[in-house]
Amino acid sequence: MSQHGPSSSPVLETNEVEAPLSEVLERKACDVVRYALFSEYRRQIIKRDDINKKILVENTRSFPVVFAAAQKRLRDIFGMELVELPAREKGTNATSQVSRRAAASKEKSQVKLGWVLCNVLDYNQGAGPGVLDWSNENRQMGITATVLSLIFLNNMSLTSDRLEYYLQKLDVQPPNMALEEKYPFATVLAPLVKTGYLERINLGHGDGQGSGGTHGGGNSAAASSGGGEAYSGTVEYRWGPRAKVEYPPRQMAGFIAEVD
């Protein structure tokens, strides 16, 4: 978990000279807290650039102090904190020396992905009403945990056709869709990729052999995925940066044990 604190006292450039500095910072910190809660409810990654543009505007040099104050409010009041997302993993099958050099160059210049809100309270602490209303999210959260647990149990990677096979066996349905309706495979996974829970890796046109200890060819994945995504060769799914932050291995093992 990362904590951003001020290395030195930043200069706050602001037109609000009438307000004391501490009052300005407190107001900005409250705005960051509200923005973080709103972003988490919509499963959006919280980025420094967005905070600078939407909240700090011309006061971007005050970011370290405002961020630290927002973190303290989140911990003290909501029992949550902003946790930095790990960098996305690079594909292991670079097709050429040029592509490997390009990937290495991109990795050097890669900026931080951002933060997500995570609970810092002991799970055994009270079960009072939550700050946010998750009643409409329960089904999606269940699907997310199920998909991630399947990948977790298969050495942290699954080819698309194998993952689809498991989901069909479990009769997993997308939220807001009648259980009797037929749906494309990508309908379940696309939201998880978009929100950072999954990484979708195109391994290229293979010879029918999957990776990560699974089996199955790319052709069946392309045929069964339906609309929404075009599959080329073997596609593999892995945990995305948000999953690594929100589902520690011990917590995921506990979830699987409870389901079992």
Tens of pLDDT, residues 35-56:
999 999 888 999 999 999 999 9
Other CB atoms within 10 Å distance of the CB of residue 46? 22
Residue 113 pLDDT class (50, 70, 90 cuts)? confident
List all residues 6 or more positions away from 188 whose beta carbon is below 8 Å from its beta carbon: 143, 147, 167, 172, 173, 174
pLDDT band of 157, cuts 50, 70, 90: very high
pTM: 0.65
The DSSP bridge partners found for residue 238 are: 157, 199
Asked if pLDDT for residue 253 goes beyond 70, the answer is: yes
Q: Which helix (H) or strand (E) holds 236?
A: strand 235-239
Cα–Cα distance between 42 and 48 in angstroms, integer? Answer: 17
Residue 221 has pLDDT above 60, yes or no: no
Mean pLDDT rounded to a whole number for the chain = 73
Please state the rounded mean pLDDT for residues 203-214.
Answer: 50
Band of pLDDT at residue 177, cut at 50, 70 and 90 = low
pLDDT score of 188:
85
Q: Do residues 144 and 192 touch, judged by C-beta distance below 8 A?
A: yes
SS3 36: helix
List the single range of 83-92, 154-163, 233-242 with lowest mean pLDDT: 83-92
pLDDT at 199: 94
The strands making up 198-202's β-sheet, listed across from edge to edge, are 157-159, 235-239, 198-202
Candidates 88, 91, 90; CA nearest to 211 is 91
Q: What is the pLDDT of residue 244?
A: 93
Residue 252: CB partners within 8 Å, gap ≥ 6?
A: 148, 149, 152
Q: What percent of the chain has pLDDT over 70?
A: 60
Cα separation, 166 vs 146, in Å, equals 10
Residue 197 has pLDDT above 70, yes or no: yes
What is d(CA 222, CA 199) in angstroms, rounded to the nearest whole number?
17
Domains of the chain (ranges; CATH) run 1-121 (1.10.10.1200), 136-259 (1.10.10.1210)
Q: What is the pLDDT of residue 48?
A: 95
Query: Of 82-86, 138-142, 156-160, 172-176, where does mean pLDDT reach its minimum?
Result: 172-176
| Residue-wise pLDDT tens digits, 51-81 | 999 999 888 999 999 999 999 999 999 999 9
Residue 199's beta-bridge partner residues?
238
151, pLDDT greater than 70: yes
